[in-house]
Amino acid sequence: MKKAFTAGAIFLLLFCFTTRAFPWGSATHAYIIDKIMRKAGPPRLMYGVMAPDVFNYFSFIMPPNSYPPTLPDDLYAATHESFMKLWDAAQSRSEKPTAYGFVGHNNIWGIDSTAHVHSLTFDPGSGFVIQKAETLIGVLDSYGVWALVGLDPSDPLVHPKCLAICHELVEAAVDLLIKNLDPNIGNRLVDSARSSDKKFLSLLIAAYADNVVTPEIIAINEAYFRSVTLGLGNSLKLKSPDDLNSVAAQLAGLAVVAYGITIDPSQVAGILQITEYVCTDPMFGPNCFMEIFATIEFVKQQLAVHNISY
């Protein structure tokens, strides 16, 4: 049975498209790095594995026309593909856990690679999150969402936009589902975000600052990312369904800031529940937990092959 979504849900989808795509979410990265280490690592290790996404909000928080238009994409590529710059900048023993986590995140052979490039449980020709997002396009179509927003996912020019929207939804839903594997993940994200590890900011500046990307720009983005991580952690600390509703409310709040519109958080929660279903029900293929467990073993091997240890 098809069901119509309210304007709040529609605007959430439009808002999601304006943000950068995150192959795996912060809670998922944090869980994976813990399992690679076979124990709960220090807060700086957990923060390090999330931190390559530090520039993902660049276009959202920086004044428009204050930077070259390609800079956000360049910075994303720098932290996800030129990740060894930060590893090389880490000279002291105390800096290595942060750098270890940072390197483990990468999009070439790291944690993000299975979500975005080559799945280990789905078709290896594409990332797990990308394939789940493709499935979600059809599911949302069955609810009449695309018709309501005036988008036709069968149009090759429109399909990438629909895929980006669904990509964001999958990332948020899997972060919520991670609590099934680690009920304490919210507390650990909060601990990592509250850690006043100024050495990480120094590493980030040493690795990526140049004539265009100033230390001030890096510091602004790092502070914002830290606050977003804290917000996610506080949401995940809550019991169900308060955690879901809190994440939904945060997304609704971001939409108000971006567009000046009010979004019904209950509709946001409904979309996330549909996405969780797509990520876990066998009728939609391998579930996210299978991919996460496979990613743990794969990245553990890759870190050893590339001689990344501390």
Tell me the pLDDT band of 22, cut-offs 50, 70 and 90. low
How big is the chain, counted in residues?
Answer: 310
Q: Which residues contact 261 (CB under 8 A, 6 or more apart)?
A: 11, 255
**How much of the chain exceeds pLDDT 90, in percent?**
69
The answer, yes or no, to whether residue 257 has pLDDT greater than 80, is no
What are the tens digits of pLDDT across the range 160-191? 877 887 888 899 899 999 999 999 999 999 99
Q: Which tokens sit at 266?
A: 């209950």
The candidate with the shortest Cα–Cα distance to 162, out of 125, 136, 143, 142, is 136
Contact 246, 238 (CB under 8 A): yes
DSSP secondary structure code for residue 118 in this structure: -
What pTM was estimated for this model as a whole? 0.89
Tell me the pLDDT band of 196, cut-offs 50, 70 and 90. low
What are the tens digits of pLDDT across the range 73-110? 999 999 999 999 999 999 998 899 999 999 999 999 99
The answer, yes or no, to whether residue 4 has pLDDT greater than 50, is no
Dihedral (CA of 263, 229, 20, 275) sign: negative
Q: What is the mean pLDDT of residues 56-63?
A: 89
- The residue ranges of every structural domain in the chain are 7-305
Integer Cα distance of 105 and 299 in angstroms: 9
Alpha helices, H only, the chain: 7-18, 26-37, 43-50, 58-61, 71-81, 84-89, 96-104, 111-116, 128-142, 145-149, 159-177, 185-194, 198-208, 215-236, 242-259, 265-280, 288-305
